[in-house]
Chains A and B, each alone.
Chain A
Amino acid sequence: MSVTYHRASWNNLFNSSFEVSNNECSCLSGRHLDGFTLPCHIVAFQHKSRHAVLPRVPRPSFMQRKFLPSSLFIRAHPRVISPNSRYPVKGLRFVSSSTSSNSKSSFSARTTTFFALGSALIGGLLGFSFAYGPQSSVSAPPTSLSTKTVTKPRYGSAEDFQKAIEELKRTFPDEDTVSTNPEDVYNHGFSVNDYHPGISHSVVVYPSSTEDVVKIVKIATKYRMPITAYAGATSLEGQFRGYSTGGICIDMSQMNRILEINEADSDLVCQPGVGWVEINDTLREKGIPLFFPIDPAPSATLGGMISNGCSGTNAVRYGTSKGEWFLNVTVVLPSGEVIKTRRRSRKSSAGFDTTKLFIGAEGTLGIITEVTIRLTPVLPTTVAVVHFPDVRKATEAVRDVMNTGVGIQCVELLDDVFMHAINNFGQSGRTWPIKDTLFFKLQGHNHASLLESAKVVKEVVKKHGGFDFQLARNEKEADDLWHDRKNAHYSGLALVPGSRPIATDVCVPVSRLPDLVYETKQDLSTLGLVAPIVGHVGDGNFHAQIMFTNEAELATAKVVVERMVHRAIAMDGTCTGEHGVGLGKKQYLVEELGAGTVELMKTVKRALDPLGLFNPGKVMCSPGR
């Protein structure tokens, strides 16, 4: 017997010179077509020896007889009659009578039949899965958020990126709008203020309107290119670092206009490249007695402030950006669609607030192109400074002061190291005692009420061992005192020449702050690291600025930060109070929030940005997992 079951191909189906292996059957199990296995066997026979027994073709099964209409069996065209047809194959009895009589075509007819049915089945299954897949809405079994299988986002190749850059240049013919200058693309992916290694972007684009941003997003989507927004570049956790494959950096610095000031409604509409300092200066120049109270680093811009979920020294009195200071944002979504999240009224309960979705998302969900902010009346303030024997006493004093309800706009703690740094920096007009110190900014409706508040504060701090309480005698003195606090970052940097800082922050419930600061300071001093500490203690938030000059110190510093974050989380706190997650804190997110909450964030990310193009690698570890 020399029957071969052959692995069929389009060619050898027609080729009568099959390979034959005597007394051996190579049985084919299926044919691979684009990764699918045909469930049918395509069988070719060849009769080699004259006295071979004809292969027995099985009778059609019951199913075949019952359910396959005779009309489905194909009679071959005379041209494709197989050379084997002179050996009539029995068993095609199920072919309709007119066909069976034409035994010449029977062999091809059978293969054809199987083939046709097979492909039909495949086609049907494919069609079914296509039709069934996306609209699984109601009939699908309850899907767990975490079991959804989503493939990791895939980005374009280097060639695609090159094409994208060319298209960007065609779209924005102005010379300055699209830049691939190596220095430029590196500077947009690097910061001297943090310790993360710089990663260049492929190209930097400077849009000047929402429409420009839409165009960029569309081009990026076409070529699967990551997009990172860049504005004030004051963030500290690597939020504007490039992505390893390269990508587009959208520099918002050209979108820096204030569009409307509605004094009567206490609100203002502006573009995202405007800095908060600029807004407050403009309002003061125009004689409008209002200001925007969120005060992160001096050159921060509104787009970055929203994305970072920032706050600042005023948070004690006015809350953070996650409060109600951003009334409405215009956002370009990853789909290229432009939405406004709200209208201009101060409050609204029309559904959950999509504005809040973009606050703290670090540009992973959309790119902000316009902002409506709420303003608040400017009030008289003054500054008071008081020293303490240790941080624990100082933080405990703050807790008590806050619960008296007096008008406190800011409470800042600077530790002894920092006071030394300020003296060392030399910009201050005075020499401070090297002690842990609290700076209060008091607020009230007039001078009398400020004095009243100062009296209350003085009493409370005295109870906690505060000494040398001094209240600014006039506005000039208050400004000078506060200036020392504002310069903290730079005076810290000057403390160790040639050093770079790890500026990190955590936040805990205020009653836990004394323990946290105390333990962290001990940890730092045992390891011999220079690390000034400054804290927005009214909120339970504090920053450590750990200085390092070499790799070894960096490694030690990282360990300290890790311990500090774990300590904060164990105290029911957060890994970051106002610096954001970026690259530096994303490893702590699951520990802090729980896997379920992080998965929820990823679900939202996937729903908005299925291609994963917006600031990939920040906030969450790969949303596709």
Chain B
Amino acid sequence: MSSLTPRALGRWFTARPWHIRKMATKGPVNSRPASKYSGSSGTPPNSRILALARYSPWSSSFPGTWRTRALIQSAFYAVGIVLATNYVDSVWFPPETGYASPREIKVAIEKLKQAFPEEDRVSTDPSVLTEHGSSDNSYHPASPHAVVVRALSTEDVVQIVKIASECRMPMVVYSGATSLEGHYSGVSPGSICIDMSGMDKILEIHEADSDLICQAGAQWEDINQALKDKGIPLFFPLDPGPGATIGGMVGTGCSGTNAVRYGTAKAEWFLNLTVVLPNGEVIKTRRRARKSSAGFDTTKLFIGAEGTLGIVTEATLRLAPRLPTKVAMAQFKNVEQAVDAVQDILNSPYGPHIQCVELLDDNMMDAINIAGVTTKPLPVRDTLFFKIQGDDPAIKLAAKTVQVIVKKHGSDRFEFASTDQEAEDLWQNRKYALTSTMGAHPGTRCWTTDVCVPVSKLSELVYETKKDLSAAGLRSTIVGHVGDGNFHALILFENDDELPKVNDAVHRLVHRALDLDGTCTGEHGVGIGKKQYLSEELGEGTVELMRSIKKAVDPMNLLNPGKLYPDNNQSRTH
């Protein structure tokens, strides 16, 4: 289109002024137009424009030297060519839909099938695609994948990455599927879902070094079970949702109840990762030494990156000695009292013996009584659960201190789980909070969200949130890793009509946390659900830094697009 423009314009300009005049006035052709019009008084009304037309570099009466003329002409052509190429570029390679066309997707699926001819490796069964692209526990818009591929080795992943980048197909990694913010939802028009659940082997256990090498699809519970079965007195202390796998735990930057004592995934539990980069290169981020100051730690680049910078295929985990534990609980009149007690306990000399401190509010306790596994009904009050670790005398002393402190903060009841079985049950109830909550309210659905604030601000946050939720007429349960200032709200609703109300409540909750110098997510990750808050939390500069790293590592934006990084137009709007 734009290539035609110079031609038409050229024609117009080439028409010499007297031609134009002829057209305009039907008068006789004058052979020396320029001199005539410049002097005469009887100029036609449009003569001024005509006089200007002689400055056209295509005009034969152009006053400048031919060099000027050539220069102006070439400038004109240059602009024309640039416009034309830009236009062609934008038509052929539109930036928004730069991913594979439906036809190319078919080609990619064919290639994948050729690369993995075994049955059940490549699936395009609609139910499988939907199952891998959406979660029952999150309500973010999701679209199914175009194809699901089961990877069994790092080489498989490399092959998939190569095919995907040839065909410009987005890739989304899937393993435990316990994430709550839409991390593994499909990308339109079609994405390759790499299912890592087949890569679940433990490769090496180094008891003497307290570390272990496993594949990304291994579940943390299986790892701990395997260690127990082999009689190795070590365990991996990160404990997110049951069913979570190592790869997903790295991607989300997870933590769990043990974070009070052992820290989160962003600490030093992942010694080394084997990662397939978007260009198909396989790197190991570190070696197996417990510490290293050889440059900045590229391991940390992939922790919390939600599969947008590389695909983790193997991990070296550090293990911790397994210590005897006891479970205790204390009831409080309200949540604030409970939260305040926790900090005093953690800052006491017995702080290091506290492995977990969990808050369950009255609604949650009620839900456990109805749907959980309990031998005797628990009091329906705001409750703190403690897991105390150490040898027997240490546990006894720690328990005594805890008892004194909780009493000071208004608790009227403190008790130990009488047997190990009871302790186990209590802890199971806590771990399965989501299931209990939904079991206690049949027919409802549940939106789970989490935020984290500096610990001294937590009681304020919990208080305000409980007030807000009940004012909005929403039923909810609250569980919190109060030792870290992190808590989860499980908001119940019955149908889609209530969804906007829930969404608004979550929105208010996040803003409340950010106002208290906190974060929009303590351990669930950003995914689709929280990316709108990232710019507000971290600042535009920090988000831009993350984006520029993403751009440098994955220039084609093929790895899990649409997650984590705020869309450019939605930053600042919240």
Q: Which residues of A contact B (CB under 8 A)?
A: 10, 69, 71-72, 74-77, 79-80, 96, 108, 112, 115-128, 131-132, 135-140, 142-146, 262, 264-267, 289-290, 308-311, 315, 319-320, 322-324, 333, 337-354, 356-362, 365, 377, 379-380, 399, 402-405, 407, 445-446, 448-449, 452, 507-512, 539-541, 568-569, 572-581, 585, 588-589, 592-594, 596-597, 599-601, 603-604, 606-608, 619-620
Q: Across the interface, do A405 and B541 meet the contact criterion of CB distance under 8 Å?
A: no
Q: How far is the CA of A345 from the CA of B546 in the complex (A)?
A: 20
Q: Is the CB of B287 within 8 A of A572?
A: yes
Distance of A323 Cα from B60 Cα, bound (Å): 77
- Across the interface, do A347 and B259 meet the contact criterion of CB distance under 8 Å? yes
Known: A121-B81, A138-B95, A577-B293. A342 touches B519 (CB 8 A): yes
Instruction: Report the bound CA distance from A361 to B297 in whole Å.
Output: 8
* Least CB distance, A540 to chain B, in whole angstroms: 6
Given A319-B267, A352-B301, A507-B289: A347 in contact with B523 (beta carbons within 8 A): yes
Complex contacts, B292 vs chain A, CB 8 Å: 309, 507, 574, 576-577
Structural contact, A339 and B541, CB atoms closer than 8 A: yes
18 extra A-B contacts, CB within 8 A, seeds A71-B7, A349-B523, A510-B210: A112-B69, A124-B77, A124-B85, A138-B93, A142-B166, A142-B279, A323-B263, A333-B545, A342-B538, A343-B537, A344-B454, A351-B304, A353-B253, A507-B290, A539-B291, A540-B209, A589-B295, A608-B545
Instruction: Name the one of B58, B166, B259 contacting A74, with C-beta atoms under 8 angstroms.
Output: B58
Q: Chain B interface (Cβ within 8 Å of chain A)?
A: 7, 10-11, 13-14, 57-58, 60, 62-67, 69-71, 73-82, 85-86, 89, 92-93, 95, 98-99, 165-166, 168, 206, 208-211, 233-234, 252-255, 259, 263-268, 277-298, 300-306, 309, 321-323, 343, 346-353, 391, 393-394, 397-398, 452-457, 484-486, 514, 517-526, 530, 533-534, 537-539, 541-542, 544-546, 548-549, 551-553, 555-557, 564-565
Contacts of B295 in A (CB 8 A): 309, 360-362, 581, 589, 593, 601, 619-620
Q: Which residues of B contact A403 (CB under 8 A)?
A: 210, 233-234, 321
The reply to whether A265 and B81 contact each other, CB–CB distance below 8 Å, is no
Which partner residue on chain B sits nearest A81 by CB separation?
B66
Q: Are B323 and A446 in contact (CB under 8 A)?
A: no
- Can you offer 7 A-B residue contacts whose CB atoms are under 8 A? A74-B66, A353-B266, A356-B266, A357-B296, A510-B290, A541-B291, A593-B287
Q: Looking across the interface, which residue of chain B has its beta carbon closest to that of A405?
A: B321
Known: A112-B66, A346-B452, A509-B211. A145 touches B553 (CB 8 A): yes
Q: Which of B206, B343, B545 contacts A339 (CB 8 A)?
A: B545
**Which of the residues B13, B76, B287, B541 comes within 8 Å of A569, measured between beta carbons?**
B287
CB pair A596 B281 closer than 8 Å = yes
Closest to A310 in B: B293
CB contact between A119 and one of B78, B80, B264, B352 (< 8 Å): that residue: B78
Chain A residues near B266 (CB, 8 Å)? 324, 347, 349, 353, 356
Assess the B297–A322 pair: CB atoms within 8 A: yes
- Cβ–Cβ contact A140 & B555, under 8 A: yes
Determine if A377 and B297 form an interchain contact, defined as CB atoms under 8 angstroms apart. Answer: no
- Asked if residues A72 and B10 are in contact (CB atoms below 8 Å), the reply is yes
Q: Which of B294, B486, B533 has the most CB of A within 10 A?
A: B294
Q: Is the CB of B455 within 8 A of A597?
A: no
The chain A residue sitting closest to B513, CB to CB, is: A345
Q: Are A139 and B93 in touch, CB under 8 angstroms?
A: yes
* Contact residue among B98, B99, B293, B524 (Cβ-Cβ distance under 8 Å from A576): B293
The interface residues of chain A lying within 8 Å CB-to-CB of B95 are: 135, 137-138
Cross-chain pair count, CB within 8 angstroms: 448
- Contact assessment for B293 and A379 in the assembled complex, using a CB-CB cutoff below 8 Å: no
Q: Which residue of chain A lies nearest to B12 when distances are taken between CB atoms in the complex?
A: A71
Most A CB atoms within 10 A — which of B71, B165, B391?
Answer: B391
B303 touches A352 (CB 8 A): yes
Q: Is the CB of B82 within 8 A of A124?
A: yes
- Given A342-B519, A353-B304, A507-B291, A322 and B286 touching (CB < 8 A)? no
Residues of A with C-beta under 8 A to B296: 309, 356-361, 365, 601, 604
Q: Which of A346, A597, A599 has the most CB of B within 10 A?
A: A346
User: Closest residue to B78 on the A side, CB-wise?
Assistant: A123
Knowing A119-B78, A347-B255, A607-B549, say if A577 contacts B291 (CB, 8 Å). Answer: yes
Q: Which of B63, B309, B391 contacts A352 (CB 8 A)?
A: B309
Partner of B522, one of A118, A265, A349: A349
In the complex, the answer to whether A71 meets B293 with C-beta atoms within 8 Å is no
The 7 closest A-B pairs by CB, nearest first: A123-B78, A138-B98, A124-B81, A120-B77, A127-B82, A139-B93, A119-B74
User: Pick the contact of B517 from A108, A125, A343 — CB < 8 Å?
Assistant: A343
In this complex, which of B92, B533, B544 has the most chain A Cβ atoms within 10 angstroms of its Cβ?
B544
Question: Residue B455 contacts which of A125, A346, A607 (CB distance < 8 angstroms)?
Answer: A346
Are A345 and B81 within 8 A (Cβ)? no
Contacts of B80 on A, CB cut-off 8 Å? 120, 124
Assembled-state Cα–Cα distance A402/B486 (Å): 31
CA distance A10 to B343 in the complex (A): 83
Q: Which of B57, B85, B352, B553 contacts A127 (CB 8 A)?
A: B85
Residues of A within 8 A of B73 (CB): 74, 116, 120
Q: What distance in Å separates the Cβ of B490 from its nearest Cβ neighbour in chain A?
A: 18
B305 CB contact (under 8 Å) in A351, A512, A606: A351
A168 to B60: give the CA distance in the assembly, Å. 58
Contacts of A573 on B, CB cut-off 8 Å?
Answer: 287-289
Interchain CB contact (< 8 A) of B283 among A115, A143, A311, A597: A597
Best-surrounded residue of A126, A139, A404 (most CB of chain B within 10 A): A139
With A127-B81, A137-B556, A145-B277: A596-B283 Cβ-Cβ less than 8 Å:
yes
Chain A residues, Cβ within 8 Å of B541: 333, 337-339
Q: Are A445 and B398 in contact (CB under 8 A)?
A: yes
Across the interface, do A509 and B69 meet the contact criterion of CB distance under 8 Å?
no
With A and B bound together, what is the CA distance between A402 and B75 in angstroms? 76
Q: How many Å lie between the Cα of A346 and that of B519 in the bound state?
A: 9
Residue of B nearest to A579 (CB): B293
Cross-chain contact A132 with B66 (CB below 8 angstroms): no
Contacts of B306 in A (CB 8 A): 351
Which residues of B are found within 8 Å of A333, using beta-carbon distances?
541, 545
With A and B bound together, what is the CA distance between A270 and B175 in angstroms? 41
- Is A348 in contact with B452, judged by CB distance below 8 angstroms? yes
List of A residues within 8 angstroms of B208 by Cβ: 399, 510-511
Give complex CA distance A534, B436 in Å: 54
Contact A77 B66 (CB under 8 A): yes
| B294 touches which of A116, A347, A352, A593 (Cβ 8 Å) | A593
Min CB gap A342→B, angstroms: 7
Are B530 and A145 in contact, with the CB atoms below 8 A? Answer: no
A350-B287 in contact (CB<8A): no
Residues in A neighbouring B255, C-beta threshold 8 A = 347, 349
How close is A14's CB to chain B, nearest CB, in angstroms?
9
Whether A128 lies near B289 (C-beta < 8 A) is no
B291 partner residues in chain A, CB cutoff 8 A = 311, 315, 319-320, 322, 507, 539-541, 574, 577-578
C-alpha gap A124/B263 in the complex (Å) = 58
Contact A345–B556 (Cβ < 8 Å)? no
Which residues of chain B are within 8 angstroms of A140 by Cβ–Cβ distance? 555-556
Select one of B98, B542, B552 contacting A139, CB under 8 A. B98
Nearest CB on A from B258, distance (A): 12
In the bound complex, do residue A360 and residue B297 qualify as a contact, i.e. CB atoms below 8 Å apart? yes
Pick from B98, B293, B521, B523: contact of A580, CB under 8 Å: B293
Please determine whether A349 and B254 come into contact, CB atoms closer than 8 angstroms. yes
Q: Give the residue among A377, A405, A580, A599 with the most B Cβ atoms within 10 A.
A: A405
- A541 CA / B526 CA spacing, docked (Å): 36
Residue from B93, B263, B294, B553 within 8 A of A592 (CB atoms): B294
Residues of A within 8 A of B393 (CB): 448-449, 452
Given known contacts A349-B252, A351-B526, A138 and B287 CB-to-CB distance under 8 angstroms: no
With most chain A CB atoms within 10 A of its CB, the pick from B58, B301, B353, B457 is B301
Question: Which residues of chain B are near A577, meaning CB under 8 Å?
Answer: 289, 291-293
Distance between B412 CB and nearest chain A CB, rounded to angstroms:
24
Closest to A449 in B: B394
